[in-house]
């Protein structure tokens, strides 16, 4: 199953992104930061905070998919410039 656009919201940003809407956040700009399973979930505004509190499940699922995608990209990418073949 390929990721939907909502799975990659904020993915291209190097810094933090709101876990709800995907808005890029400057350091210290998050209204709140939720901590779940060793991951930080920054929240940008009161509306996103309320949405997260009402139903955190979709945002936690998105985080899990993003984490998996990042791990696959890191494993699949060979950054050393050398071939994996012997």
pLDDT 10s digits, 22-78: 899 999 899 999 888 778 899 999 999 999 999 999 999 988 888 888 888 888 665
Identify the band that residue 4 occupies on the pLDDT scale cut at 50, 70 and 90. Answer: low
Decide if 75 is inside a domain.
no
Q: Residue 83's CB: how many other CB atoms inside 10 A?
A: 7
User: Angle 76-34-14 (CA atoms, 0-180°, nearest 5)?
Assistant: 40
Mean pLDDT of the 6-22 span:
69
Q: Any idea which residue has 């984490």 for tokens?
A: 67
Domain range spanning residue 44?
Answer: 17-70
pTM over 0.95: no
Domain count, the chain: 1
Q: Kindly tell me if the per-residue pLDDT of 1 is higher than 90.
A: no
Domain presence at residue 25:
yes
On whether residue 84 sits in a domain, the answer given is no
Residue 7's pLDDT is 52
Q: Cβ distance 7 to 66 under 8 Å?
A: yes
Q: Is the Cβ–Cβ distance between 24 and 12 less than 8 Å?
A: no
């Amino acid at each position: 199953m390929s990721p939907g656009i909502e799975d990659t919201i904020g993915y291209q940003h190097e810094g933090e992104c709101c876990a709800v809407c995907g808005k890029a956040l400057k350091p210290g700009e998050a209204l709140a930061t939720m901590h779940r399973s060793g991951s930080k979930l920054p929240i940008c505004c009161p509306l996103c905070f309320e949405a997260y509190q009402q139903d955190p499940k979709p945002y936690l699922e998105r985080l899990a998919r993003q984490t998996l995608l990042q791990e696959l990209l890191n494993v699949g990418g060979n950054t050393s410039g050398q071939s994996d073949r012997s």
